[in-house]
Structure 1
Amino acid sequence: MDYHMKLPRNKTEFALFIGIISVLSVNIIAPIISCFEMGFSVATWRQALAVMPFIWLVVVVMVLLTNSPAALVTDKLITKTDSFNAHMIVNCLVNVVMMSLVLTVVGSWIGMRTISWAPIQQFFYKWPRNFAISFFVEAVIAQPIARFILKQKHLRTDQVRH
């Protein structure tokens, strides 16, 4: 029942789902990581705000690229009889691992507005922090909100049909 009510049923709902998650994630994760990098200030937040549209585009592309591989890995790690929550948390974990590996470098390049070796050289120092922030935001904020919105949409749609 949860799968039918809380997840996208078609391509339009998939786009809505990705839109909700990506907008929430970028607007929370990018400023937090930027503040850890440059210090917590209004100026840092403003700088993060200026590059967020570019980071958002990369996030959407990454979600589209990692969605199928993440589903395959999730299917290998858990069984069909595992709970909805188990499926969601493992899928979230796999997606965030894949995306954070790339975005730790590419997000830094976008934020710095230059391509350099620095994010690659500092990768093993910065990736664990970026992963932890991203996983927390995805698992506790972005995905639950997106699933709640889809559930409400499905409840209204199903009421109209019946």
Structure 2
Amino acid sequence: MEFYMKLPRNKKEFTLFMMVISIISVNIIAPLISCFEVGFRMDVWEEALKIIPFIWVTVIALVLITYKPAGWMTGKIIEKDDSFAAHMVVNILCNVLLMSIFLTVIGPWIGNRQVSMEPMVLFFYKWPRNFAISLAVEALIAQPIARLVMLKLHQLKDRRLEVDNS
């Protein structure tokens, strides 16, 4: 029942779900990582906010690219009859793993407005921190809020359907 009520049922709902998650994630993760990189100062936060639209477009593209591989990975780890919570945790873990790998390299390119080898050279120093921040934000903030939005949307739709059928 939780799968039916807390996850998207169609493409329109998937779009809403993805928008909620990506907007929350990008607005928290990008400034946090930028501040860890350069320092927790207001000017750093302001600069991070300026690049958020570019990061957001990249995140949407990467979500669409990594959606099936992350689903495949999740299917290899989890059984169909495992709990909803188990499915969510493993799916978040797989999605964050793939997204953080790409964004640890692409994010600095966007933020610095130049393509360089530096993010690849420093990858194994920076990726664990980026992964941990992203995992925490996704698992504790973005995904729960998006699932709550889906639950409320489905409850509203179901109530409307009951009223229409009465």
What is the CA distance between 1:72 and its match in structure 2?
1.1
Distance 2:66 2:89 in 1: 15
What 5-or-longer segments of structure 1 have no aligned partner?
Answer: none
What is the CA distance between 1:69 and its match in structure 2?
1.1
Could you tell me the TM-score, scaled by structure 2's length?
A: 0.97
1:138 aligned partner? 138
Distance 1:84 1:61 in 2: 26
Distance 2:21 2:120 in 1: 27
My pick for the range that moved more, 62-71 or 13-22, is 62-71
CA distances 1:40-86 after superposition (whole Å, capped 9, x unpaired): 01100000001000000000011111111111111110101110000
What is the CA distance between 1:106 and its match in structure 2?
0.2
- Paired residue type of 1:100: S
What is the CA distance between 1:37 and its match in structure 2?
0.4
CA distances 1:18-58 after superposition (whole Å, capped 9, x unpaired): 00000000000000000000100110000000100000000
SS at match of 1:9: coil
SS at match of 2:57: helix
Could you tell me the TM-score, scaled by structure 1's length?
A: 0.99
2:85 aligned partner? 85
What is the number of equivalent residue pairs in this alignment? 162
Distance 2:76 2:127 in 1: 25
- Paired residue type of 2:25: S
Runs of 4+ in 1 over 2 A off after TM superposition: none
2:100 aligned partner? 100
Question: Pairwise CA RMSD of aligned residues?
Answer: 0.5
Distance 1:66 1:87 in 2: 17
Distance 2:67 2:117 in 1: 28
1:74 aligned partner? 74
SS at match of 2:37: helix
Percent identity between matched residues is: 57
SS at match of 2:9: coil
Distance 1:88 1:66 in 2: 16
Distance 1:120 1:80 in 2: 37
